[in-house]
Chain A
């Protein structure tokens, strides 16, 4: 018996009806398609009365298949399928015919649009005839979350989830958590000290019963799917036993390698080879920099085990822990396996490299520094104890030029986006500078001042009006050295003049860039990234914290440039998504997944085991399965689709040489029915 199909054509206000004669589409469809027992049109099908119309007609007319001719299925497929469920119809008998994005919006000519819409609707009615009932797939959930990255985003998300009562595993690749925020001096627009608001959060995360922290660790691999991820964490050899070490500082005080540039102080100060990144680090226990430690250099040269080297050994001698010392030169990387249900990626950003702007002398002149370096200069815990001194000779700079948009909004340097925070932090820098050097003069070169945020505009105006920073509208063309001064050549487009400033120090508001390894990392996680290597959110407006892979969420600057409040908000949002996910024991997901066919003996499956499907699958969802005889011998090895991982893209089905894979909801029969409907009419 054929299906009783109902067709509902939506006007979408005038979005569709302006270029498509919806009445005619409904009429033609009813006339020419046997089996279509009911057609109607409605102004807004997605509205409450529209949905009620659908629900009522399914019942009244006894419809067993429904076509909604409206907008893209991405918009409202879910809405209409849910409405169908309420009337007792299996939702997979509801199909959307997209006559808005794919017809009315792209065709100005009404008769042509109407004809095309009629065709599109007919295609879908043919598909609906072949639709089968599908059941949602149930997936077990491991109630544990993984947070990758220990900056403010990671810490906030970890705390929120841990407070919600779930276990959290946090992985940070540096020796301490804290990220960039721990490096900042003061924060805009309130000028409260970053350390004062960051370090208590770091302590809270470290001491939380539900949080397990792995610093100096990286993600080795992630497999599995929503609710059931298998994660391998590489705990890099720290050369220090975290359980034994008390962080007494004896070791790094005696370390003779004192000339290593401190990463935390952005190269403005030195550290030792065995070190903690900064005094407030968590854990407050050192790590040995094996690249620079003379003992490890010696061991590498002589090709012996580090512990057999007789060079130096001062740190282990100084270690007061007995009988087993807390320092272990022979320590090796360790791989830890964990199972988690959801993942939050909070891997942060990096600052644009110095050398990219040769014309500004970045990386060449000591007194041309980056915004992050200025943060360290202005920080009370920084190399100058918060005094503004220029790096070359330690003199207090009388004229400081700040250059905005260094790397940002510069497509020629491969960075077309706005880094969003620089306008504000530059305004903050001018204030911090003026607070510390009263007679100093701050000049800021800008293209636009972008201060959209609560209290932000007032903050930047305060820098100009009250703190007396002089803003010049234009980009700087060149910075060069003349004696002990830096000559800055810029422009002020408001007066239409060239500006030449004899500066003592230049601060570049360097762009926020995606981490160097963002691309490889995204591939490791099977999540999408944009042209700038920032991770892509699922939907720019409606799914801003979801990644393209189910169960993996994004927080902070790994997704795009943002400031602290926004990062914290996004981390909280991601955490709430994870909490919702972990709140149930089982998850339901769309049954649109691929299936490898299984047959009765002696064929078992038409799959020939070529595993081409495995190569093309972007979600690593194809596994292999041995079909065994009763005695346990393998008869055949065939492909199997992991329902949890499969996202229903259909690549495997298209690739399969033996036509053994079908995508539920989009099988060959259904697709051909659609094609035939246009071809033979």
Chain B
């Protein structure tokens, strides 16, 4: 990889953009690597969590937003809890996911994850909570290759009453809807 820094390119300040959106100051990170060391899914990532922060520090927007790492992050918040400089790394991943979708840069290899997120949110938006069956329905329609995945546990869940055929709305459905409106 090659990083080129010229007077012109300096005008877009990615780190500042991230800070303005989320309040997370990546400049604080001194690259000790503790986040990476404790990350339970780091072994699957294309870039280590500390490298993602490094990308943001150096203004490497494309590298950060097209990475698989931001999608693989399970938001377990171990990194944030342990960071000596109190950088909110897991929250940073959230922001980067948002930005990645907005800019159409989401890594195609992680389409399953983005679709799942979308189906989850759609269900919450509609009913104020998720309806497992209908959410899965949407997800599997959009990602047909996953149609047979995990199907075997369906009957078990049904028999235990964990899946209902009809979605249940919550009482304050409108309030949830308003949250979605506000977040747009």
Which residues from chain A sit less than 8 Å from chain B, CB to CB?
A: 398-399, 441, 443, 461, 464-465, 468, 470, 472-473, 492, 494-502
Shortest C-beta distance, A383 to chain B (Å), equals 25
* Contacting pair B28 A399 (CB below 8 A): no
A468 smallest CB distance to B (angstroms): 7
CB-based closest 4 A-B pairs = A497-B1, A502-B6, A501-B5, A498-B2
- Tell me the residues in window 123-148 of chain B with beta carbons closer than 8 Å to chain A beta carbons: none
**Docked pose: A441 CA to B4 CA in angstroms:** 14
Q: Are B31 and A473 interface neighbours, CB within 8 A? A: yes
Q: Contacts A465-B25, A465-B27, A465-B28 known; A495 to B7 CB distance under 8 Å?
A: no
| 9 A-B interface contacts by CB (under 8 A) | A398-B7, A441-B10, A465-B25, A465-B27, A494-B31, A494-B51, A495-B1, A495-B63, A497-B3
Residues of chain B within 8 A of A501, CB atoms compared: 4-6
B120 within 8 A of A: no
Number of interface residues of B (CB under 8 A): 21
* A495 pairs with B55, CB closer than 8 A: yes
Task: Tell yes or no: B54 within 8 A of A by CB.
Answer: yes
B45-59 Cβ-contact flags toward A at 8 Å (1 or 0):
000001100110110
Inter-chain contact B54/A495, CB cutoff 8 Å: yes
What's the nearest-Cβ distance from chain B to residue A311, in Å?
Answer: 51
B30 beta carbon closer than 8 Å to chain A: yes
Task: Contact check, B5 vs A443: say whether CB atoms are below 8 A apart.
Answer: yes
> How many Å from the CB of A672 to the closest CB on chain B?
63
A492 touches B58 (CB 8 A): yes
Task: Return the chain A residue nearest B6 by Cβ.
Answer: A502
Q: Residue B99 at the A interface, CB < 8 A?
A: no
Q: How far, in Å, is A472 (CB) from chain B's closest CB?
A: 8
Give the chain B neighbours of A398 by CB distance below 8 A.
7
Give 7 new A-B contacts, CB below 8 A, not counting A399-B10, A502-B5.
A399-B7, A461-B30, A492-B3, A495-B60, A498-B1, A499-B3, A500-B5
Measured between alpha carbons, how far is A468 from B27 in the docked complex, in Å?
Answer: 8
In the bound complex, residues from chain A placing their C-beta under 8 Å from that of B63 are 495
Our pick among B4, B7, B58 for the contact of A470 (Cβ within 8 Å) is B58
Residues of A within 8 A of B5 (CB): 399, 443, 499-502
Q: Using Cβ atoms and an 8 Å threshold, which residues of chain A touch B31?
A: 473, 494
Q: Give the docked Cα–Cα distance between A494 and B4 (Å).
A: 15
Min distance, Cβ B50 to any Cβ of chain A, angstroms: 8
> Contacts of B55 on A, CB cut-off 8 Å?
495
Distance to closest chain A CB from B99 (angstroms): 19
Given contacts A441-B10, A465-B27, contact A495 B2 (CB under 8 A): no
State whether A502 touches B51 (Cβ < 8 A). Answer: no
Q: Which residue of B lies closest to A473 (CB)?
A: B31
Judging by beta carbons under 8 Å apart, are B27 and A497 in contact?
Answer: no
Report yes or no: A500 in contact with B4, Cβ–Cβ below 8 A. yes
Chain A residues whose C-beta falls within 8 Å of the C-beta of B3 in the assembled complex? 492, 495, 497-500
Point out the residues of chain A lying under 8 angstroms from B28, CB to CB: 465
Report B29 CB to chain A, min CB distance, Å: 9
Residues of chain B within 8 A (CB-CB) of A492 are 3, 54, 58
Out of B2, B6, B25, B57, which one reaches A497, CB within 8 Å? B2
Contact status B1-A496, CB under 8 Å: yes
B-chain residues with CB within 8 Å of residue A500 when the two chains form the complex: 2-5
Chain A hits for B6, CB < 8 A: 399, 501-502
- In the complex, what residue of chain B is closest to A502 when comparing beta carbons? B6
Residues of B within 8 A of A464 (CB): 27, 30
A494 to B32, CA, bound (A): 10
A502 CA to B10 CA, complexed, in Å: 11
Residues of B within 8 A of A496 (CB): 1
**CA of A498 to CA of B3 in the docked complex: distance in angstroms?**
6
CA distance A464 to B28 in the complex (A): 8
Chain A residues, Cβ within 8 Å of B25: 465
Which chain B positions have C-beta within 8 A of A473? 31
A28 CB, min distance to chain B CBs, angstroms: 57
Q: Tell me the nearest residue of chain B to A494, going by C-beta.
A: B54
From residue 25 to 73 of chain B, which have CB atoms closer than 8 A to chain A? 25, 27-28, 30-31, 50-51, 54-55, 57-58, 60, 63
Assess the A495–B58 pair: CB atoms within 8 A. Answer: yes
Most chain A CB neighbours (cut-off 10 Å) among B5, B7, B27, B50: B5
A472 contacts across to B, CB distance below 8 A = 58
Given the complex, which residues of B lie within 8 Å of A498, measured CB to CB? 1-3
- How many whole Å from B88's CB to the nearest CB in chain A? 15
Docked complex Cα distance between A228 and B63 (Å): 71
